[in-house]
């Protein structure tokens, strides 16, 4: 089961690296153990682990078997009523029309942690609605009383609790509608009573990487070990520098792509720094612009004292990481790493009383080491300023390495990477469209879905990436499995009738067949037509034939079960043949209608675009 290279401060542990819990060498990247486990801090260390999203359930099953079903459970989480949700729920209860409730809800600003109280003060249109309509005032008054209350319970995305005895001795349990056992207490309560909480996170990127590497191994006979790829690959850094990072873990947002084009990263340290700095604080404070300017020599890199250079040289004199704050306190003021971690934490919390004591301690320690007092004060102020922005370098390093591995595959094995990426987002129509557009920009051919060639997933062959059947709407995985079994048994599906004779028609029903026709996945059943346009024109005829084909298939399968001969079945002219089938004489779909059906079944226009003619 694929496991991530590391996550959070655990990447700073050499023992975790030696035990292969993480794949990040803390000595190579200058990570600090005390950021993970501080002997001067009471709280226990926490190791979050990323697993392949598809197989996370197997990890939970393994833990359950190892420690006992009675000792293991997932953790409950409670969804609360946010401002808009409270308004919509109360509106339904008050029998206010959906349109009127929607009008009110949309006037509530969609910012994080918005409350109805704040919305009434900040949204002029909402105030106007309240003044105009007394029902709106009543709606908001009731909604405010419900706001923040628990709305539903669900399973925490990562948390699993493991107890030394049956969990019923520590915590009440709950079985949800899916039969999953969870605690009735949420994460904080579980920690408070001292139970061991493990975070098993499902990360889609790991599934993507595993799929791409496995396909490369099968098709190219190359055993690619991502942990061993060179960290100085030219193509990979060129991809980052060009901002061609759609689909790249942590680096695909439009803002990050713009930053990459400006920064032109050429080494792994640059990627780690950009991963740490691309966050609201550094962006607002102009820190990332300063970093880029220093990198390109537009701003001189100056250090207050020479001792800062070995600590800050990797980030061109900018304090980007919490670990840099800790190392400055240790090297310049004699703090132990444990004390330095407490300083780092205090700076983040901005407790004035604690900060005064830490400032005095730092200045005293620095002056004892022959640092001028005014320099010590200035360095502490710099640390204090950047501590609000500083990010955990251990986490940034682990995730930058994962991003590099992703980009390495995209740069060096683009067809395989994009096929795996398209598969991972096959149920997300918006992203699928974006990534298919990226394929076009990369000159990666995309081949139409075809029941005689396609798999559930997007696959790679000599001609390009073949569209996966799993991405067609209204065609479930069980239906696809039935179609693939039919194809394996008959070598090739030659007609709609032959398909209906050999699949489970409870799974491959009329709705599924309609989706396949609209997507063009059954075009190969009439490939004997003289031209590609004729094949495309046949979709309307195949569509008209579905009812008769299903009826024929049901009759054929029933007779086969009874052991009766199909001697006279071919007399009606509807049955399968080696060269295709007799198609009904119906009008062909217009180009617009055909494209509209592609959009309906695939989520995008595939064979063309309605505006192409213009």
Asked whether the predicted pLDDT for residue 248 surpasses 90, the reply is: yes
Residue 10: inside a domain, yes or no? no
Band (pLDDT 50/70/90 cuts) for residue 606 is confident
**pLDDT tens digit sequence for 146-156:** 888 888 888 88
Binned at pLDDT 50, 70 and 90, residue 532 comes out as low
Tens of pLDDT, residues 490-530: 888 888 888 898 888 899 899 999 999 999 888 888 754 44
Is 157 a member of any domain?
Answer: no
pLDDT at 573 over 50: no
**Do 287 and 370 sit in the same domain of this protein?**
yes
Q: Are residues 222 and 135 part of one domain? A: no
473-494: pLDDT as tens digits: 888 899 999 999 999 988 888 8
Q: Are residues 456 and 545 in the same domain?
A: yes
Write out the two tokens for 614.
């213009």
Indicate whether 527 and 562 sit together in one domain.
yes
Last residue of a domain, one of 130, 148, 166: 148
Q: Indicate whether 386 and 419 sit together in one domain.
A: no
- Residue 204's pLDDT is what? 92
The pTM of this model reads 0.81
User: Is residue 195 one of the residues assigned to a domain?
Assistant: no
366 plus 222 within the same structural domain: yes
Range ranked top by mean pLDDT from 134-148, 341-355, 600-614: 134-148
For residue 531, what are the contacts with CB-CB under 8 A and spacing of at least 6? none
Instruction: Taking residues 282-304, report their average pLDDT.
Output: 89
Report helix, strand or coil for 267.
coil
In a domain, 363, yes or no: yes
- Residue 317 located in a structural domain: yes
CATH assignment at residue 114: 1.10.10.1600
pLDDT confidence bin for 326, thresholds 50/70/90: confident
Q: Is the pLDDT of residue 535 over 80?
A: no
> CA neighbours within 13 Å on the CB side: how many for 191?
10
Residue 354 domain flag: yes
Judge residue 286's burial from the number of C-beta atoms within 10 Å of its C-beta, 0-12 exposed, 13-18 middle, 19 or more buried.
exposed
- Note down the domain range covering 122: 82-148
Task: Round the average pLDDT of the chain to a whole number and report it.
Answer: 86
Can you tell me whether residue 3 is helix, strand or coil? Answer: strand
Beta bridge partners, 561, equal none
Distance CA 139, CA 87 (A): 7
Q: What is the pLDDT of residue 258?
A: 95
Distance of alpha carbon 416 from alpha carbon 419, whole angstroms: 5
Report percent pLDDT > 70 for the chain: 94
Q: Given pLDDT bands bounded at 50, 70 and 90, which one contains residue 572?
A: very low
- The pLDDT of 405-414, averaged and rounded, is 96
The pLDDT, as a whole number, for residue 450 is 92
521 and 447 in a single domain? The answer is yes
Which residue shows structure tokens 């004997």? 528
Higher pLDDT, 351 or 103: 103
Share in percent of the chain as helix, strand, coil (round to 5): 55, 10, 35
Higher pLDDT, 211 or 567: 211
Among residues 125, 148, 171, which one ends one of the domains? 148
The pLDDT of residue 415 is: 95
Q: How many distinct structural domains can be found in the chain?
A: 3
**In a shared domain, residues 353 and 382:** yes
In DSSP notation, 119-148 reads HHHH-HHHHHHHHH-HHHHHHHHHHHHHTT
% of the chain beyond a pLDDT of 90: 31
pLDDT at 580: 46
Statement to judge: residues 237 and 383 lie in one domain: yes
pLDDT score of 397 more than 90:
yes
- Strands (DSSP E) along 190-235, which ranges? 196-203
Q: Is residue 568's pLDDT more than 50? A: no
Q: Which among 62-71, 186-195, 525-534 has the top mean pLDDT?
A: 62-71
What pLDDT is attached to residue 534?
57
Q: How far apart are CA 303 and CA 313, in angstroms?
A: 9
Q: Is residue 69 part of a domain?
A: no
Numbers of helices and strands, H then E, in the chain: 28, 9
Identify the domain boundary among 148, 163, 198.
Answer: 148
- Residues 529 and 434 grouped into a single domain: yes
426 and 388 inside one domain: no
């Amino acid at each position: 089961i694929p496991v991530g290279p590391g996550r959070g401060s655990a990447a700073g542990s050499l023992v975790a690296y030696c035990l292969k819990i993480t794949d990040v060498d803390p000595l190579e990247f200058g990570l600090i153990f005390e950021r993970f486990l501080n002997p001067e801090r009471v709280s226990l260390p926490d190791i979050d682990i990323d697993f392949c999203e598809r197989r996370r359930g197997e990890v939970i099953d393994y833990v359950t078997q190892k420690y006992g079903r009675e000792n293991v459970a997932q953790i409950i989480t409670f969804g609360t009523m946010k401002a808009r949700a409270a308004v919509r729920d109360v509106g339904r209860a008050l029998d206010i029309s959906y349109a009127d409730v929607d009008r009110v809800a949309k006037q509530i600003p969609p910012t994080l942690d918005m409350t109805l109280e704040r919305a009434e003060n900040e949204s002029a249109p909402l105030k106007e609605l309240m003044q105009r309509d007394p029902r709106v005032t009543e709606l908001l008054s009731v909604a405010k009383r419900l706001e923040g209350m628990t709305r539903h319970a669900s399973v925490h995305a990562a948390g699993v609790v493991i107890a030394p005895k049956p969990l019923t001795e520590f915590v009440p349990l709950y079985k949800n509608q899916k039969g999953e056992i969870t605690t009735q207490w949420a994460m904080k309560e579980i920690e408070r009573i001292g139970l061991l909480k493990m975070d098993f996170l499902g990360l889609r990127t790991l599934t993507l990487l595993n799929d791409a590497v496995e396909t490369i191994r099968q098709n190219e006979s190359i055993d690619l070990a991502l942990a061993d790829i060179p960290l100085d690959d030219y193509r990979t850094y060129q991809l980052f520098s060009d901002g061609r990072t759609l689909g790249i873990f942590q680096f695909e947002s439009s803002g990050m792509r713009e930053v990459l084009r400006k920064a032109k990263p050429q080494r792994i340290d640059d990627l780690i720094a950009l991963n740490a700095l691309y966050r609201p604080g550094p962006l607002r404070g102009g820190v990332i612009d300063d970093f880029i300017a220093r990198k390109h020599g537009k701003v001189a890199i100056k250090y207050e004292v020479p001792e800062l250079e070995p600590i800050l040289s990797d980030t061109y004199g900018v304090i980007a990481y919490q670990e840099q704050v800790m190392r400055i306190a240790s090297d310049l003021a004699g703090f132990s790493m444990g004390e330095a971690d407490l300083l780092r934490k205090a700076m983040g919390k901005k407790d004035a009383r604690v900060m005064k004591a830490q400032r005095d301690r730092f200045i005293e320690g620095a002056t004892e080491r022959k640092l001028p007092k005014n320099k010590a004060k200035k360095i502490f102020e710099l640390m204090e300023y950047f501590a609000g922005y500083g990010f955990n370098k251990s986490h940034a390093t682990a995730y930058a390495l994962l991003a590099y591995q992703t980009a390495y595959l995209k740069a060096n094995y683009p067809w395989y990477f994009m096929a795996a990426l398209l598969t991972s987002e096959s149920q997300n129509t918006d992203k699928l469209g974006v990534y298919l557009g990226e394929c076009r920009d990369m000159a990666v051919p995309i081949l139409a879905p075809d029941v005689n060639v396609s798999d559930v997933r997007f696959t790679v062959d000599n001609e390009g990436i073949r569209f996966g059947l799993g991405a067609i709407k209204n065609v479930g995985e069980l239906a696809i499995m039935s179609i693939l079994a039919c194809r394996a048994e008959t070598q090739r599906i030659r007609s709609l009738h032959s398909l209906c004779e050999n699949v489970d028609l409870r799974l491959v029903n009329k709705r599924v067949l309609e989706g396949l026709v609209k997507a063009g996945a059954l075009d190969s059943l009439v490939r004997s037509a003289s031209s590609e346009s004729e094949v495309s024109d046949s979709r309307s005829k195949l569509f008209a034939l579905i009812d008769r084909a299903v009826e024929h298939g049901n009759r054929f399968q029933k007779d086969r079960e009874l052991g009766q001969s199909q001697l006279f079945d071919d007399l009606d002219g509807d049955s399968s043949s080696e060269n295709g089938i007799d198609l009904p004489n119906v009008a062909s779909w217009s180009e617009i209608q055909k494209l509209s059906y592609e959009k309906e079944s695939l989520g995008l226009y595939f064979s063309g675009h309605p505006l192409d003619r213009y």
